[in-house]
Amino acid sequence: MTDGNDDAQRPSFPAGDGETMVLTRALDWSKTPLGPITAWPHSLKTAVDICLNSPLSTVLLWGPERVMIYNDGYAAICGSKHPAALGQRCQDVWPELWADWNLPLSERVLQGERVTARDKLHTLERDGALADAWFDLFFSPVRSDDREKVDGVMIVAIETTERVLTERHLRTANERIQLALDAQAVLGTWVWDIPADRFTADARFARSFSLDPERCATGLPLSTVMASMHPEDQVRVASEIARTVARGGRYRSEYRVRQLDGTFRWVEANGHCEQGADGRPMRFLGVLIDIEHRKHAENALRESELQFRTLSEIVPEIVWMASSDGRSTYTNPFWSDFTGLTPEASHGAGWASVIHPDHRAHVLEVWRHALETGESFEVHIPFRDREGGYRWFLTRGMPVRRLDDTIERWMGTGTDVTEVTHAREALARNAEDLERRVKERTQALLQAEEALRQSQKMEAIGQLTGGIAHDFNNLLGGIIGALDILQKRVATGRLEGMQRYIDVAIRSSTKAAALTHRLLAFSRRQSLDIQPTDVNALIGSLEDLLRRTMGENVELAMLLDAGLWAATTDANQFENALLNLCINARDAMAGGGKLTIETANTHLDAAYVQDKDGLDAGDYVVICVSDTGSGMPPDVIARAFDPFFTTKPIGQGTGLGLSMIYGFAKQSGGHVSIYSEVDKGTTVKLYLSRHQALMEKTSAPERERPKAEAGETVLVVEDDPVVRMVMLDVLHDLGYAALEATDARSAIPFLENGQRIDLLVTDVGLPGLNGRQLAEIARQRRPELPVLFVTGYAEGAALRGGFLGQGMEMIMKPFAIDALATKIREMIVLS
């Protein structure tokens, strides 16, 4: 025998070629609570050697975790749990036996006690099915190296199933005979002398077989007796007698015998074959019992069970049975078809594996309570189907009781109530928020479609101001393009025709400012400025801007109807809509193409407008914008006018362009439509109502900018150097003395040094202290000082009412020079 250190040096430990020996050597024990084999104590290695080499089914539970190590004999008991059970905790391998069996017994053994359990019943998986098996179990403690404590539990399992079943059958037969004797159901006795083939029986036996009592008393050959049996039973009974004679011992058989009236009667023969000293069969004796009534009862029971099974196999719901201790014994085909579990896999506790994990504990608790109390139960269970989904079943169960009121078995059904359950849940949700939903629905019905669209657009514009760059940059393109041309012409000395580009830059700047204010006005639902408009003239004035915006790869063609009617629309909104459509067309022609702008007069009849809400039949001016770009599939066309829907990458558009065009057309009493084919191009038609009267050309009178009258001083606080420079230059040109500061902190010394300041002009969004906070500081030192706030924030309009105090005004960026001059003069005069 070697010590533990020698064992630790052997890489082949444990030695041997058995399956579990090989698996034990191969397992990475460092990942288990026991640690690597090289670190195992001597007591553990010795116990493992004994366990693996034992001829009996043996398992070793080691440590507080009860880690399992077992031999080949025990592996057979594990069934499908092997080989995964090796190295695992006992409670994880046998959870069904842990709390009530292995835990309390192993605790006793760990205290040093030896425990023996006789004929312990376990339900095991054998040949793919669950089966009852009985064992004698012997629990022994395994002490540590120092013998101070118990580290392990050695369990030897000896199967006693065959003996238990044999004893049970013998006990049942004896009880049956005793009951027959007590009930006077014995029909006679017999003795068969096997070597002489002489069969003798009493008179009751003779009458039962319709034989002559005197001949039975003196003896008959066995064949004569068997001739009275039913022909269908003779071969089977002869075989049973032959087997009993060959082996000796107990005999039992059921068969039918002919009566004097020609009918047959069911009897049960119980006997015993005696053998001589040399092992040869000598005598066969027994008793005949009347089982006619029992057979009728059994036939009736079989018929009843057949009817039950037939019914259970055709009904579209779950039908189940379980033993008195709760183990499933029968499930109908509907169960297997629904869950995908075979009847064998469902037996025992296997049925619980398809309960939704969130509900499994509750269902098992209801089942446990029913088993303890013997009460019927009803519970909703979500079962998993073979596809992995779940459906709700109302499951009911009730006990079937014997005459003595003990429970023989449980029976029950499961009805699919998924739709009912979902309907109830939906009803509960509807009831909970019914008042809110009714209020919202009523409000939605009261709102006009266009009002709702405008509200949705403009509510989100306040949150997505960065996305407005898609539309705003259209106008900036005109400004930058015009200034770029001016810069080049000045540099080359070409000064002729410069006014044209100056006008384009100013006009585009004015439109950009108008767009900003119009977006704010939209959020307040301000009406459009509807005027008679010469659409051709507007389009012509944008031609240079459009050509530069389209770039060299896009050919621009204009087909303008010389006899085009005047349209009733907002000119600024129309220009913005046209720019949007052209930019979208350009983006759809990444590799170049042709953009065509066409105008025409048209009449929309009643048939065309009947399915278009808010559109009246009549005369319209139609503007067609067509491209040869990528086009759109039908599903994109269907959503093209939805707010915030865009197919462009993030940052290249807000998805508001076409939505705003749609809203503009509807508000103008017009219409917009899209026709597109993938890889062929897109045509957008904008319909504007015809203006019936003749147009009158008007021009706004020029006004002189109001100037300073007494050398007033204005303090300008603006962090943007360009805006600050413009305001200072304007003030100097108008005769004002101007002081400048880049933020609130650099402005405060001007307010504190006592010099004259007639007006404070400050940006709202200053770094550090904002403009409103600076105004508060200024008013503390100069209570009567008027303050003009300058802001480019869209939300400034909404803040205006609660933001401004007495002697405060606000002007929005970008602003016209005349507007700034007028506002400054008004505030100084009023102060």
Please indicate, yes or no, if residue 332 is contained in any of the structural domains.
yes
The range of the structural domain enclosing residue 803 comes to 713-830
pLDDT of 132 reads 87
Which residues, in sequence order, are CB contacts of 569 under 8 Å at separation 6+? 528, 530, 531, 533, 535, 668, 670, 688, 689
CATH for 228: 3.30.450.20
272 phi-psi bin (left φ>0, alpha ψ -120 to 50, beta other): beta
Pair of tokens at residue 387? 């596809």
Segment 367-404, tens digit of pLDDT: 999 999 999 999 999 999 999 999 999 999 999 888 88
Whether a cis peptide bond, with omega within 30° of 0, leads into 14 is yes
550/613 same-domain check = yes
Q: Are residues 258 and 333 in the same domain?
A: no
What's the pLDDT score for residue 60? 96
Indicate whether 455 belongs to any domain: no
In a domain, 233, yes or no: yes
Task: Say yes or no: 98 and 212 in one domain.
Answer: no
pLDDT in tens, 24-50: 999 999 999 999 998 999 999 999 999
Q: Are residues 541 and 651 in the same domain?
A: yes
Same domain for 181 and 263, yes or no, is: yes
Q: Which residues pair with 531 in a beta bridge?
A: 569
Highest mean pLDDT among 41-55, 313-327, 785-799, 809-823: 41-55
Q: In the predicted model, is pLDDT for residue 563 greater than 80?
A: yes
Helices 498-523 and 796-803 cross at an angle (nearest 10°) of 60
Amino acid code (one letter) for 433? D
Indicate whether 21 and 146 sit together in one domain. yes
* Chain Cα centroid distance, residue 42: 53
Residue 618 lies in a domain: yes
Least confident of 256-265, 458-467, 593-602: 458-467
- Interatomic CA distance for residues 645 and 658, integer angstroms: 9
| pLDDT at res. 676 | 87
Residue 797 pLDDT exceeds 60:
no
pLDDT of 438: 63
Task: Tell me: pLDDT of 650 over 60.
Answer: no
Q: Answer left, alpha or beta for residue 342, where phi above 0 means left and psi between -120 and 50 means alpha.
A: beta
Q: For residues 640 and 659, what is the distance between their CA atoms, to the nearest angstrom? A: 8
**Where would I find the beta strands (DSSP E) of 83-128?**
115-126
pLDDT of residue 663: 76
Query: 523 falls in which pLDDT band (50, 70, 90)?
Result: very low
Residue 510 located in a structural domain: no
Q: Looking at 296, 330, 347, which one is the last position of a domain?
A: 296
Tell which of 296, 327, 357 closes a domain: 296
Give mean pLDDT, residues 688-695.
78
Query: Confidence class of residue 194 from pLDDT cuts 50, 70 and 90?
Result: very high
Indicate the SS3 state at residue 652. coil
515 falls in which pLDDT band (50, 70, 90)?
low
pLDDT of 82 above 60: yes
Is 70 exceeded by the pLDDT of residue 542? yes
List strands edge to edge, sheet with 713-717: 737-741, 713-717, 759-763, 787-791, 808-812
pLDDT band at 175 (very low <50, low <70, confident <90, very high): low
Confidence at 278, pLDDT banded by 50, 70, 90? confident
Q: Which pair of tokens denotes residue 637?
A: 């066309």
To the nearest whole number, what is the mean pLDDT of the chain? 82
pLDDT of 796 reads 40
Structure confidence by residue, pLDDT tens digits, 467-480: 355 456 656 666 77
| Residue 99 sits in the same domain as residue 248 | no
What's the domain count of the chain? Answer: 5
Instruction: Report the C-alpha gap between 809 and 740 in whole angstroms.
Output: 19
For residues 151 and 170, state if they share a domain: no
Q: Would you state the pLDDT for residue 329?
A: 86
Looking at residue 548, what is its pLDDT?
A: 79
% of the chain beyond a pLDDT of 70: 83
793 pLDDT tier (thresholds 50, 70, 90): low
Cα maximum dimension of the chain? 161
Report CA dihedral (738, 742, 746, 750) to the nearest 10 degrees: 10
530, part of any domain? yes
Q: Is the pLDDT of residue 67 over 60?
A: yes
20, 111: one domain: yes
Residue 176, pLDDT score: 56
Say if strands 186-193 and 198-201 run parallel, antiparallel, or are unpaired.
antiparallel
Whose tokens are 């550090």? That residue is 768
Q: What is the pLDDT of residue 571?
A: 82
Lowest mean pLDDT among 329-338, 728-737, 811-820: 811-820
Please say whether the beta carbons of 383 and 414 come within 8 A: yes
Which pLDDT does position 705 carry in this prediction? 59
CATH number at residue 817: 3.40.50.2300
Which whole-number Å values give the CA distances from 578 to 95, 174, 348, 542, in the listed order?
75, 106, 76, 9
Does 800 have pLDDT greater than 60? Answer: no
Is 265 within the bounds of a domain?
yes
Q: Which amino acid is at 580?
A: N
Section 351-360 average pLDDT? 91
Same domain for 274 and 334, yes or no, is no
pLDDT at res. 1: 42
What DSSP string runs through 671-688? EEEEEEETTTEEEEEEEE
> Residue 26: its pLDDT value, please?
92
Choose one of 365, 389, 422: the last residue of a domain.
Answer: 422
Q: How many CB atoms lie within 10 A of CB 808?
A: 18
Please indicate, yes or no, if residue 454 is contained in any of the structural domains: no
pLDDT band at 485 (very low <50, low <70, confident <90, very high): low
Higher-confidence position of 651 and 105: 105
Residues 663 and 542 in one domain: yes
H helix or E strand, kind and range, residue 523:
helix 498-523
98-118 per-position pLDDT tens digit: 888 889 999 999 999 999 999
- What is the identity of the amino acid at 781? R
Could you give the CA distance from residue 398 to residue 375 in angstroms, rounded to a whole number?
7
Q: What is the CB neighbour count within 10 angstroms for residue 680? A: 11
Looking up residue 529, the CATH number of its domain turns out to be 3.30.565.10
Is beta strand 618-627 parallel, antiparallel or unpaired with respect to 377-384? unpaired
Output the CA angle 350-135-270, nearest 5 degrees: 100
Domain co-membership, 682 together with 543 = yes
**pLDDT bucket at 526, cuts 50 / 70 / 90:** very low
Count of alpha carbons within 13 Å of 351, Cβ hemisphere only? 25
Helical axes 498-523 vs 469-492, angle rounded to 10°: 160
What is the rounded distance in angstroms from the CA atom of residue 275 to the CA atom of residue 282?
Answer: 5
pLDDT cut 90: percent of the chain above it: 38
pLDDT at 422: 83
Cβ(287)–Cβ(270) below 8 Å: yes
pLDDT tens figures, 432-457: 776 676 667 656 655 544 554 455 44
Beta-sheet strand order (sheet of 264-275):
198-201, 186-193, 281-290, 264-275, 249-258
